[in-house]
Amino acid sequence: MNSATYRSDFLVIGSGIAGLTFAIKASALGTVHLVTKKKDSDSNTNYAQGGIATVMDPGDSVENHVADTLKAGAGLCNEDAVRLIVESGPERIAELIEWGMRFTTRIDEDGKEVLDLGREGGHSKNRIVHARDLTGKELERALLEKIAGISAIRVFEDHTAVDILTEHQLGFSSTDRQRSRSRDDITCYGAYILENATGDVHLFTASVTMLATGGVGQIYQHTTNPEIATGDGIAMAFRAGALVSDMEFIQFHPTSLYLEGREGRFFLISEAVRGEGAVLTNLRGRRFMEGVHPMKELAPRDVVARTIDAELKKSGDKFVLLDISFKGEVFLKKRFPQIYERCKEEGIDIARGPIPVVPAAHYLCGGVVTDSNGRSSVRNLFVSGESACTGVHGANRLASNSLLEGIVYSHRAWCHIAENRGLLASGSDAPNFPAWNKEGTFDLEEWILIQHNKEDVKRLMWDYVGIVRTNLRLQRARRRLKIFSEEINDYYRRSTLSPELVELRNLATVAGLIIEGALWRKESRGLHYNTDYPDMDDSYRKNIVMRSNGDTVLRPLSGFLFS
Ligand code: FAD
Ligand code: SIN
């Protein structure tokens, strides 16, 4: 086994929309190492269906999109950050098209080819650009093809980032570390990266590190997210001392395909289906969203998911029904080819009957705190995409705003670095980091232990930290997680490193952050609903910001989270 050192100007961790767009841009400024823990297209991005929210229609406006986003965010969005993404949207979409992205188009009344605009929950206008219901797949195709033609970018597939390189790895005493952290004086120099096939841990040093590792859906028993979504970047940044915020706001998508006896990743039935008029009923045919919200099925996601949850608890049913069959086979096959085919494989003909659906964990609004240029509180560590907390989503993300956020913030990070080239020179000052210490480790043959711990954490989060929370359940979750975390940390110290172990440790860290955030927020707001505090309380109209030396602080909303 051999550990190597790789040096580049930029280290990009993650190959979803945030990592790929940043890598493409960064390659104009220097060399890029792009590390991804599975195959290059394995990402949440690849599964995106609905599309990217952007103001394109002459009848729409920046103000409308901003207002819809702020309304969904339940008083916790940072309006400046929202304006940034909304105003930059059209330019970024044009760039994607220039890079080869093929969005679905239609011919308008004047015979002109225009982008087809879909509708989703919480949007007052049609403004979602999409590639039928395969937007993410098409995005990954276009971006990966672009990357393949850029010689300054070297892609490392099947390489898992383990920890960020900071002063921490240089053996500073805990007091030094404490002092350094309290001054917000930590620098990132790259990361330790595990080569999955060999078990070697390599040193990747870089002047700038971009964390674009996506979300945390795998923390829950039922999720729309693929296997990669284990919160690695957030856990790594947190361990390194970065500020992390808004972790209590987990978005549950109202409509994932219910299949009897199946667990794990639930296939998404896009909100765009409701955007085309689909209705939700219970098994007795009652349209239960009527009277709950003026937008009915197109109410913001938190409202729809909570109403379905209440409906299921009341009735004891296992699913509710989503009906779009009235649109007919020709339309459905063209507009939603993936959903049509996937349901067909399961014996469900969506042109002839309703689809059984349940909510599933979908998106994390919180993450590593960044400023308007994607900078985290750790020097030279940038974060973009679902791992970041930019202030855009507040307490609830508006549908299809996340792909937009990823491209806009990756672009802004690149602009910032291009204007501050001194950042790139700073990499030559990197200290000599020790090779990964493998001494004293043994093979953890009992893989089953890891698997069970993972399932324990996922079940715990689903049962106690789900759509509806209570103090009692949150306290119980905290106690149980403490026991699991002790076991997991023990394996981690004693075992040979494997990608599964890295992920398990990160899952436990991120689960802890979600539980702590939820315990701190003694109100109900947006995606965080606690029956012990059913109302919104504006003394909590603040971000709950945490960092690893034990601080948990409520930061007032004032411009960007830090500057
Ligand atoms: P991801 O696309 O998740 O990419 C993360 C990358 O990091 C992956 O390549 C992963 O392998 C890699 N990685 C993770 N950990 C490590 C590690 N330790 N080492 C190395 N690599 C690592 N949003 C919208 O705006 N519109 C939609 O229509 C939409 N539909 C969605 C449908 C589904 C089913 C899902 C799950 C999400 C959807 N979302 C949608 C949300 C959106 O897709 C994600 O928020 C967005 O794609 C996140 O992009 P990202 O680049 O931050 O992360
Ligand atoms: C969907 O297509 O419903 C997902 C959109 C999103 O998560 O933004």
Question: Whole-angstrom Cα distance, residue 188 to residue 196?
Answer: 23
What pLDDT was estimated at residue 558? 52
Specify the pLDDT at position 64.
98
Ligand nearest to the CA of 136: 1
**For range 170-197, the mean pLDDT:** 70
Which amino acid appears at position 191 of this protein? A
Q: Is 58 left (phi over 0), alpha (psi -120 to 50) or beta?
A: alpha
Q: 542-546 and 552-556 as β-strands: parallel, antiparallel, unpaired?
A: antiparallel
Cβ neighbours of residue 56 under 8 Å, at least 6 residues apart? Answer: 90, 93, 114, 115, 117, 127, 129
Average pLDDT of the residues of the chain:
92
Residue 169 binned pLDDT confidence (cut-offs 50, 70, 90) = confident
Nearest residue by C-alpha to atom 40 in ligand 1: 48
Alpha-carbon distance 244 to 512, whole Å? 12
Question: Residue 221: pLDDT band by 50, 70, 90 thresholds?
Answer: very high
Give the residue from 268, 286, 256, 442 showing the smallest Cα distance to 357: 256
Residue 477 CA, ligand 1 centroid: distance in Å: 26
- In the predicted model, what is the mean pLDDT of residues 124-134? 97
Q: How far is CA 179 from the centre of its chain?
A: 32
Residue 268, strand partner residues: 256
Determine the pLDDT at residue 171: 66
**Ligand found nearest the CA of 274:** 2
Locate 100 and state its tokens.
Answer: 């080869």
The answer to whether 69 and 121 have CB atoms below 8 angstroms apart is no
Distance separating alpha carbons of residues 510 and 504, to the nearest angstrom: 10
Q: HSE-up of 176 (CA within 13 Å, CB side)?
A: 9
> Half-sphere exposure (CA, 13 Å, Cβ side) for 27?
17
Quick one: average pLDDT of 535-559? 82
Cβ neighbors of 157 (< 8 A, separation 6 or more) are: 36, 38, 39, 40
For the CA of 273, the nearest ligand: 2
pLDDT exceeding 70 applies to what percent of the chain?
93
Q: Is the pLDDT of residue 31 over 90?
A: yes
CA-proximal residue: ligand 2, atom 8 (nearest) = 400
Within 6 A (CB) of ligand 2 lie 49-50, 270-272, 363, 399-400, 402
pLDDT of res. 73: 96
Q: Which residues contact 548 (CB under 8 A, 6 or more apart)?
A: 181, 238, 239, 240, 241
Q: What is the mean pLDDT of residues 264-273?
A: 92
Neighbours of 354 (CB within 10 A): 20
Atom of ligand 1 nearest to the CA of 35: 20
Q: What is the atom index within ligand 1 of the atom nearest the CA of 136?
A: 43
Ligand (nearest to CA of 255): 2
CA-proximal residue: ligand 2, atom 1 (nearest): 270
pLDDT tens, residue by residue, 45-88? 999 999 999 999 999 999 999 999 999 999 999 999 999 999 99
Nearest CA residue ID for atom 52, ligand 1: 385
pLDDT (mean) for 186-203: 95
* Residue identifier of the C-alpha nearest atom 46 of ligand 1: 45
Q: What's the 365 CA to ligand 1 centre distance in angstroms?
A: 13
DSSP state of 294: T
Name the closest-CA residue to atom 6, ligand 1. 14
Please give the number of the atom of ligand 2 that sits closest to the Cα of 135.
Answer: 2
From the candidates 301, 412, 473, 521, give the one annotated as an active-site residue.
301
**Predicted local distance difference test score (pLDDT) of residue 214:** 98
Average pLDDT over residues 349-377: 97
Higher pLDDT, 171 or 296: 296
Q: How far is CA 69 from the centre of its chain?
A: 17
Question: How would CATH label the architecture of 444-536?
Answer: Up-down Bundle (1.20)
| Catalytic (active site) residue 301 | yes
pLDDT at 484 over 50: yes
Ligand 1: lining residues by beta carbon, under 6 Å: 13-19, 35-38, 42-45, 47-52, 135-136, 160-161, 212-215, 224-225, 228-229, 232, 268, 363, 385-387, 400-403, 406
Q: What is the structure's pLDDT at 140?
A: 98
Q: Is residue 174 over pLDDT 80?
A: no
Count of beta carbons in the 10 Å neighbourhood of residue 110? 6
Residue range 230-249, pLDDT digits in tens = 999 999 999 999 999 999 99
CA of 282 to the centre of ligand 1 (A): 31
In this predicted structure, the answer to whether residue 283 has a pLDDT above a threshold of 90 is: yes
- What's the 361 CA to ligand 2 centre distance in angstroms? 12
Determine the Cα–Cα distance for residues 276 and 274; give it in Å rounded to an integer. Answer: 5
Show me where the domains of the chain are located: 1-249+365-428, 254-359, 444-536
Which of 187, 85, 154 has the alpha carbon at shortest distance from 402?
A: 85
- Determine the pLDDT at residue 173: 42
Q: pLDDT (tens digit, 9 = 90+) per residue, 401-458? A: 999 999 999 999 999 999 998 888 866 677 888 888 765 555 555 677 788 889 999 9
Q: What is the atom index within ligand 1 of the atom nearest the CA of 401?
A: 25
Distance CA 65, CA 411 (A): 20
Separation of 372 CA from ligand 1 center, angstroms?
A: 20
**Which residue do the tokens 């947190």 mark?**
238
- Specify the CATH architecture of the domain 1-249+365-428: 3-Layer(bba) Sandwich (3.50)
Q: Which atom of ligand 1 is nearest to the CA of 402?
A: 25
| Both tokens assigned to 373 | 């240029």
pLDDT of residue 444: 55
Give the integer Cα–Cα distance in Å for 412 and 410. Answer: 5
User: Which two structure tokens, joined as six digits, stand for 525?
Assistant: 């707001």
The confidence score (pLDDT) of residue 185 equals: 80
CA distance 226 to 42: 8
Whether 179 shows a pLDDT value over 50: the answer reads no
Candidates 249, 253, 386, 407: which one to mutate for ligand 2, based on the most atoms within 8 Å of Cβ? Answer: 253
**Per-residue pLDDT for 182 more than 70?**
no
- CA–centroid distance, 214 to ligand 1, in Å, is 5
Q: Looking at the domain covering 254-359, what would its CATH class be?
A: alpha beta
